Structure 1
Amino acid sequence: MTSPDQSPEPAYAERVFRSPAGIAGGVLLLALGAWMGIDALVRGHGRTPWLALAGLLLAVPLVVAFTMRPAVFANDDRLRIRNPFRTILLPWASVADVRASYSSEVFTKDGAKYQLWAVPVSLRKRKRAARRQSQSAHDDPHGRTSVNVDVSDSRARAADADHAVAGLREQAERCASRDTARGEPQVRWAYEVIAPALAGLVVLLVLLATG
């Protein structure tokens, strides 16, 4: 029989944050690009098919990088941020704070700052939340507001970004003391996105220069 002192620590399933609007926009852009590119490849003459191919090689990785690739993964041990050109691994013990103002950002204890592309901020909702917060505090009689909102205040969580940031902040505070949450931040460049985009750019520039 297991005593209460020996009970395992609670495990929290990994949470994933993405931008549905960004993914939908990426799918539409890829469909439009594929339609135009294939049309140019099939019906184009002379250098047009090659220009279209180079344009697709440049555009497709960039569209995927900025719309479909961004994601944030959070589990008991670490925060994994997948931005357009980098993947950042942050053990919870290295996280100092998570904030949302003009964008959602995470700060490490060594002073680094990383943006959460997958958790976009709506400035209109942010100003509305800030106005409500300032009115409730009676500290701004002229109605001036800021985009900065205390997301720890449940009344200020008017946008999905605020809910996500508040949840990540709470998880950082809860999991930072775990032995498995220790370590140094790691940053890896997304060469699988950068390499084909650079190749497409080089080919496109060569074609344009020699035309």
Structure 2
Amino acid sequence: MTTPAREPQPSGPEYQDRVYRSPAGIVGGVLLLGIGGWLGIDAVVVGHGRTPWLALAGLLLAVPLVAAFTIRPAVYANEERLRIRNPFRVIVLPWSQVAVVRSNYTNEAVSNAGAKFQLWAIPVSLRGRKKAARRAARASAGGNTGGGAGGVIGGGLPGFSTGWRTTDLDAGDTLSSGDRSMADLRALHEGYRPEGSPSSEGTPGEVSVRWAWEVLGPVAAGAVVLVILLLAG
């Protein structure tokens, strides 16, 4: 007795995105939106004359801006490309077009053409680096003096060699959360092998930059309405 052959099941995405966001930014954005919404709605409900219209125009202007700089930023990465969602732009960078992913006072990706794209979703935390440096110093004092990302290198900043280049993901608590995310992105970048990618032949190799009109449109409308109301006052 033969059993019927099973039909192949549809598979998911060949490369699953890793998502990097700022929890502190999201929490701050939600709080700001909550406070602003409460004040704005109160002005609309109990305000007189032009106050409700000014409040509505202010909300139309402020809400997209606050969301754009706090909740919206995200970085999506997989084995083929890096997608950066910044407040006003969305940038798609195939790894073949990325020259370096680096950290200094900001985290950024640099294309082969020299264009720099800041990673808003992965902010640099000097406080987090200092805390990570103290943890690394305590680990070294306790006998964990191995090299690599476990030590304090480069002027007291943990886990980074000269030029902020490292792909050692075993640093654990000796790196701040933002620096761990950047180390992860460097590992994806340095591990990219176009000749070993099954879908590399059909993968677009160009850098794509798109303006976030879904943010810019409401902001511009709110600004225009607010200016008209103020001038007509």
Question: Normalised by the shorter chain, which TM-score bucket?
Answer: 0.7 to 0.9
Greater helix share, 1 or 2? 1
Pairing partner for 2:67 from 64, 68, 83: 64
- Identity in percent: 57
TM, length-normalised to structure 1: 0.82
Does the C-alpha gap of structure 1 residues 159 and 144 become closer, same or farther in structure 2, counting only changes over 3 Å? closer
Structure-1 separation of matches of 2:214 and 2:40: 22
Residues 77-113 of structure 1 show CA distances to partners (whole Å, capped at 9, x for unaligned) of 2111000000000011101111111111111111111
CA deviation profile, 1:122-155 (whole Å, cap 9, x unmatched): 012335667979x999xxxxx9667994351665
Q: Normalization by structure 2: what TM-score?
A: 0.75
1:202 aligns with 2:231: no
Gaps spanning 5+ residues in structure 1: where?
A: 1-10, 138-142
- Structure 1 residue identity aligned to 2:178: A
Highest RCO, 1 vs 2 (Cα 8 Å, sep ≥ 6)? 1
Tell me the SS of whatever aligns to 2:110.
strand
Q: Specify whether residues 168 and 198 from structure 1 end up closer, same or farther in structure 2 by C-alpha distance, changes over 3 A only.
A: same
Equivalence for 1:123: 126
Query: Paired residue for 1:162?
Result: 179
Q: Between Structure 1 and Structure 2, how many residues are aligned?
A: 195
124-133 or 94-103: which moved more? 124-133
- Compared with structure 1, are the counterparts of its residues 128 and 164 closer, same or farther at alpha carbon in structure 2 (3 Å cutoff)? same
Higher deviation after alignment, 167-176 or 60-69: 167-176
- The answer to whether the 8 Å contact 2:88/2:212 transfers is yes
Describe the SS at the equivalent of 1:175. coil
Cα pair distance change 1:33/1:55, threshold 3 Å: same
* Alignment root-mean-square deviation, CA: 2.7
Q: Is the 8 A contact 1:94 1:108 kept in 2?
A: yes
Whether contact under 8 Å (1:96, 1:109) holds in the other structure is yes
The change in CA–CA distance for 1:160 and 1:34 in structure 2 (over 3 A counts) is: same
In the other structure, the counterpart of 2:31 is 28
Q: Distance in 2 between matches of 1:32 and 1:48?
A: 18
C-alpha contact (below 8 Å) 2:17/2:76 kept by paired residues:
yes
The CA deviation string for residues 17-48 of structure 1, in whole angstroms up to 9 with x for no partner, is: 11111111111111111111111111000000
Unaligned stretches of 5+ residues in structure 2:
1-13, 148-153
User: Which residues in structure 2 correspond to 1:40-189 (within 5 Å)?
Assistant: 40-126=43-129, 149=160, 150=164, 152=166, 158-177=175-194, 178=197, 179=200, 183-189=205-211
In structure 2, distance between residues paired with 1:56 and 1:97:
39
**CA 1:176 to 1:48, structure 2 compared with 1: closer, same or farther past 3 Å?**
farther
- The whole-number CA distance in structure 1 between the counterparts of 2:93 and 2:129 is 27
Partner-residue secondary structure (3-state), 1:69:
coil
Partner letter of residue 216 of structure 2?
A: I
When Rg is computed on C-alpha atoms for both structures, the one with the higher figure is 2
Equivalent residue, structure 1, for 2:9: none
Partner of residue 14 from structure 1, selected from 7, 13, 17 = 17
State the partner residue of 2:151: none
